[in-house]
Structure formats: structure tokens, C-alpha cells
């Protein structure tokens, strides 16, 4: 298959977190179709293995790694494996993230006379709020700290952080998710300087 030189990623190593999810699995498939060797990182090994099989069936090069972006030791180990097996990272796509029910309100707007049993802002679980924020923000920060070490001396390397429109215009019901994605945008801008 001939590739348009503008979109040819041959000899590039792409690391994708959250690669077992809907969005990042498609991104990984597209990177591999352009010739990149793709390291698929995800907490659920079966999901990233399935994406790797799809890529290989289409003639691409992909390796699946079970990895928790919240665990620096896990990331350091996987970074060494990726570097040894595929090469040093050129493209890092941070797509791991999500939300928790206990960090989500049940209603779009607060009313003083709420129905009994509905979760409002005042009822949100702080541990769930923290876990949601950490997964989306710290789960983006830590892979950058680990993989960007391999990238800083390379030309044409790139870090792409998946955010959300919730960062710009907070979605109702998900303050932890919205706040974390706003923090991801700010971190991305900070790193660009």
C-alpha cells in the first residue's frame, strides 16, 4: 500500500493510552494504517489485545500492554518494554480517562426543593470526585513524564492530549470530569511553551 508522504508515519513509534476505548482504539488503528508501530496501553488487557489483533489483521504493527496510567511503576516498566521492543516514543496520545457515578449529580440544575434521594453537588463523594479528577488529569500527566523523556531530543515528536468540550463549557452533572479536562487543557498549553 502506498502512503501519501504527508501522512506517512513509517518508522514512528506511537504510544496510545486508553487504547482499548472507542475513541483511542480508532486513533490507534488510523496511526497503524499510516505505518506507525503502535503501543496500545490499557487497564484491560483483553480490550487492547483485541485492538492489536485488528491492527495486525489489517497489516499494521501493534503491541498490547496492560498498563494503569495511575501507576508510575507500571508506566516506567511499560516504557522500557516499548522502547526495547518497538523503539523510543515519537508520538504520545493520552486518551485514558472517564467518570464515576458518585462524582456525578443526578440533576442538571440545583433547586432548593430537590426530590429526596437525588444526588446534588452537595452530595458528591469526595473520593469519587478525586478519583475522577486524578484519572483524567494525573492519568495524562504521568504518561507525559515517562514517555516525553524519550521524545525531548527528537525532532518531529508530538504529545496529543485528549480533552473534552467540557473543559471549555462545563457539562452539567460532571464537575470532576469537566474540571479535570480543563486542567488537561491548561497542562497542554503549559507544555507547549
Which of 65, 133, 137, 177 is an active site residue? 177
Is 177 annotated in the active site?
A: yes
Contact at 8 Å (CB) between 55 and 38?
Answer: yes
| Range list of H helices, 86-174 | 126-151
CA-CA distances (angstroms) from residue 161 to 45, 93, 104, 128?
22, 6, 23, 22
In 3D, which of 168, 166, 128, 162 has the Cα closest to residue 144? Answer: 162
Spatial strand order in the sheet of 158-161: 61-66, 37-42, 13-17, 91-94, 158-161
CA distances from 99 to 2, 3, 49, 93 (A): 41, 38, 23, 19
Per-residue cell: 72: 508510575
Give the containing element (helix H, strand E) for 175. helix 175-192
- Catalytic sites, residue numbers: 177
Amino acid at each position: 500500500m502506498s502512503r501519501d508522504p504527508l501522512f506517512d508515519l513509517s518508522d514512528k513509534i506511537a504510544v496510545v493510552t486508553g487504547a482499548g476505548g472507542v475513541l483511542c482504539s480508532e486513533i490507534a488503528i488510523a496511526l497503524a494504517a499510516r505505518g506507525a508501530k503502535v503501543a496500545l496501553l490499557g487497564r484491560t488487557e483483553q480490550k487492547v489485545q483485541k485492538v492489536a489483533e485488528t491492527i495486525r489483521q489489517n497489516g499494521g504493527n501493534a503491541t498490547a500492554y496492560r498498563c494503569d496510567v495511575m501507576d508510575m511503576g507500571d508506566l516506567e516498566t511499560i516504557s522500557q518494554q516499548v522502547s526495547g521492543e518497538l523503539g523510543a516514543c515519537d508520538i504520545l496520545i493520552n486518551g485514558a480517562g472517564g467518570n464515576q457515578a458518585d462524582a456525578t449529580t443526578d440533576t442538571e440544575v440545583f433547586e432548593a426543593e430537590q426530590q429526596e434521594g437525588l444526588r446534588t453537588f452537595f452530595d458528591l463523594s469526595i473520593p469519587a470526585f478525586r478519583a475522577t479528577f486524578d484519572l483524567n488529569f494525573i492519568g495524562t500527566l504521568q504518561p507525559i513524564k515517562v514517555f516525553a523523556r524519550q521524545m525531548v531530543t527528537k525532532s518531529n515528536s508530538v504529545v496529543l492530549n485528549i480533552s473534552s468540550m467540557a473543559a471549555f463549557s462545563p457539562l452539567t452533572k460532571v464537575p470532576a470530569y469537566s474540571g479535570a479536562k480543563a486542567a488537561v487543557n491548561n497542562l497542554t498549553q503549559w507544555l507547549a511553551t
